[in-house]
């Protein structure tokens, strides 16, 4: 008789604490899905952008990437209407962006999902 057969089999997944749905990495995952689903549905002449409205001012920029820092920060990187780099860093409780369709800056390059190298990689992450 093998002594290993007498030991109970423990699945390590059952030992992990439940995922905290309020951490920035979970917000990042959900925001990435919303942004990329919107982006994918646009025609080839447009890409996803964000419009932020605060204190009577409006800022619109092309979203190029999204990041996070647990437990509570989300960042959006991109370029403004003048092509200058911008980065917005917000607490997860303050996130409020309007997704908009913007004319693509480089129509000769294929559209890629935000935060992923390819659409295949993005689709695999959702599976």
The 3-state secondary structure of 61-93, one letter per residue: EEEEEEEEECCCEEEEEEEECCCCEEEEEEEHH
pLDDT tens-digit profile of 19-39?
777 899 999 999 999 999 999
Phi, psi of 84 (to 5 degrees): -85, 140
Q: How high is the pLDDT of residue 21?
A: 77
Q: What is the mean pLDDT of the chain?
A: 88
pLDDT, residue 105, reads: 84
pLDDT at residue number 71: 96
Secondary structure letter of residue 122 according to DSSP = H
Which pLDDT score is estimated for 20?
77
pLDDT tens-digit map of 2-23 = 666 666 677 766 676 677 778 9
Q: Residue 104: is its pLDDT beyond 80?
A: yes
Q: Which of 44, 82, 47 is nearest to 63 (CA)?
A: 47
Q: What is the dihedral of CA 124, 127, 50, 66, to 10 degrees?
A: -60
pLDDT of residue 115: 87
């Amino acid at each position: 008789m093998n002594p290993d057969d007498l030991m109970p089999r423990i699945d390590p997944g059952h030992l992990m604490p439940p995922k905290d749905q309020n951490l920035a990495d979970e917000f990042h995952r959900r925001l990435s899905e919303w942004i990329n689903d919107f982006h994918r549905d646009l025609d080839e002449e447009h890409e996803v952008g964000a419009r932020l409205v605060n204190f009577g001012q409006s800022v619109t920029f092309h979203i190029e990437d999204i990041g996070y820092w647990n437990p509570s920060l989300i960042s959006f990187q991109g370029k403004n209407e003048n092509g200058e780099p911008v980065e917005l860093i917000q607490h997860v409780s303050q996130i409020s962006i309007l997704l908009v369709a913007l004319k693509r800056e480089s129509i000769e390059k294929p559209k890629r999902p935000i935060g992923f190298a390819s659409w295949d990689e993005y689709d695999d992450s959702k599976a």
